[in-house]
Amino acid sequence: NAGVMQNPRHLVRRRGQEARLRCSPMKGHSHVYWYRQLPEEGLKFMVYLQKENIIDESGMPKERFSAEFPKEGPSILRIQQVVRGDSAAYFCASSPGEGPQHFGDGTRLSIL
């Protein structure tokens, strides 16, 4: 009865590198959400995906950030050419539809 699985738990990148964060939703869940949490703040919505479709990306920065949820495999949040300001905890959540979203343990991204 695995929950939402995120990996890696911690990711360190140098400025200019790419970061790839993975999220496997709970079994039976086809809705995936990505949130970002800056220190001492609540989570901020980034993107909402269903299988192979982006439903709402209103919270995604216009450049360098992209997300996908392919037919097979985990959802990927990709950050290209990372900058110091990208340092944050990135949480993935999933749901079967409407209702509570179940969160993974997050990926803590640190940019050197």
Partner 1 sequence: AQTVTQSQPEMSVQEAETVTLSCTYDTSENNYYLFWYKQPPSRQMILVIRQEAYKQQNATENRFSVNFQKAAKSFSLKISDSQLGDTAMYFCVLLPFTGANSKLTFGKGITLSVRP
Positions that interact with partner 1 (CB under 8 A): 31, 33, 35, 40-45, 48, 55-56, 58-59, 89, 91, 93, 95, 97-103, 105-106, 108
CB of 81 to partner 1, least distance (A): 26
Shorter beta-carbon distance to partner 1: residue 1 or 14: 1
CB of 106 to partner 1, least distance (A): 6
In order of 7, 99, 100, the CA distances from 71 in angstroms are 19, 23, 23
Q: Which amino acid is at 17?
A: Q
CB of 34 to partner 1, least distance (A): 10
Shorter beta-carbon distance to partner 1: residue 6 or 111: 6
99 Rama sector, left if φ>0, alpha if ψ -120 to 50, beta otherwise: left
Shorter beta-carbon distance to partner 1: residue 72 or 98: 98
In order of 2, 36, 88, the CA distances from 41 in angstroms are 28, 10, 10
C-alpha span between 21 and 4 (Å, rounded): 13
CB of 41 to partner 1, least distance (A): 6
Shorter beta-carbon distance to partner 1: residue 40 or 63: 40
